[in-house]
Amino acid sequence: MIKSKDSLTLGIVGVRGYVGRELIRLLAGHPYIKVQWVSSRQLKGITLNEFLSDDAYFNKEILEPEHYYNNLKIETLSEIEVASRNTDIIVLALPNGLAAPFVTEIEKQLNSKMIIDLSADYRFDESWQYSIPELNSIFSSNKKNDSGLMKTETGLKKISNPGCYATAMQIALAPLAKHIKGVANCFGVSGFSGAGKKPSANNNPDNLKDNILPYGLIEHLHEKEVSFHLDMSIHFSPHVAQFFRGISMTVQAELKECWTIDSINDLFVNFYDEQLVVKINKAIPNIQQVTNSNNCHVGGFSLSENGKRLTLVSCLDNLLKGAATQAIQNIELFYDTK
Q: Which residues are catalytic?
A: 164
First to last CA, the chain: 8
Dihedral (C-alpha) 254, 258, 261, 263: value to the nearest 10 degrees? Answer: -120
Tell me the Cα Rg of the chain.
Answer: 20
Query: What gap in Å lies between CA 108 and CA 8, rounded to an integer?
Result: 21
Q: How far apart are CA 227 and CA 296, in angstroms?
A: 20
Inter-residue contact 249 to 168 (CB < 8 Å): yes
Burial class (CB in 10 A: 0-12, 13-18, 19+), 216: middle
Strands (E), 191-295: 212-214, 234-241, 247-255, 278-281
